[in-house]
Amino acid sequence: MTYHETIIDLVHHVLSKGIEYYKNVDSGNAFDKILRNYHQFNLNGDKVYRRTSKMAQHYRYSENAWKLKNNLSELYFEHLIPLKITKEKLQELIASGNVSHDSIKTILDENEIVVITRDEQKIVDADFKSSLPKESLDRLAVVGIKIEEQTKLNRLF
């Protein structure tokens, strides 16, 4: 079993126990940690998160973050889709009775980490900390954050 399959299996276990079980696990930050970790490893199981050489191969960067790519203290790892929205989609699986490994994988795979600067993170959070703009699924583009050309094709999977 791969790292990502293990995370999906953990999420499946939590969701398949029903809404009360989910709420109990979600009441702390354990569930958040599980979801956040999904995008920290590549398909080979190599940790990418906070590993500058691997990050440059797998994560997309803002133009400003790319200039600071070796200065981790200036960088912020932003999920393209806020975790709150991902969790809402996962909760909907419970309500619809569609809790499956495939449906969970689909939801988790639609997200990614984009490396931005700490200043850019403040701009994103000012308007879209836990939401997406109505006109676009890309909250970074809406606030004027441009992706560095060299990283546009980077992906974990």
Break the chain into its structural domains and give their ranges.
3-151
Per-residue pLDDT at 59: 98
Per-residue pLDDT at 28: 86
3-class DSSP string for 17-86: CCHHHHHHHHCCCHHHHHHHHHHHECCCCCECCCCHHHHHHHCEEEHHHHHCCCCHHHEEEEECCCHHHH
pLDDT interval class at 136 (50, 70, 90)? confident
Threshold 0.95, pTM exceeds: no
d(Cα 75, Cα 64) in Å, to the nearest integer?
10
CB 86 within 8 A of CB 35: yes
d(Cα 17, Cα 86) in Å, to the nearest integer?
18
* SS3 state at 149: helix
Checking if the pLDDT of 20 tops 90, the result is yes
Query: 């600067």: which residue's tokens?
Result: 117
Per-residue pLDDT at 62: 98
Give the other-Cβ count within 10 Å of 88's Cβ: 12
Taking only the tens place, the pLDDT of each residue in 79-130 is 999 999 999 999 999 999 999 999 999 999 999 999 999 999 999 999 999 9
Mean pLDDT value across residues 12-23? 97
Checking if the pLDDT of 149 tops 90, the result is yes
Q: What does the mean pLDDT of the chain come to?
A: 96
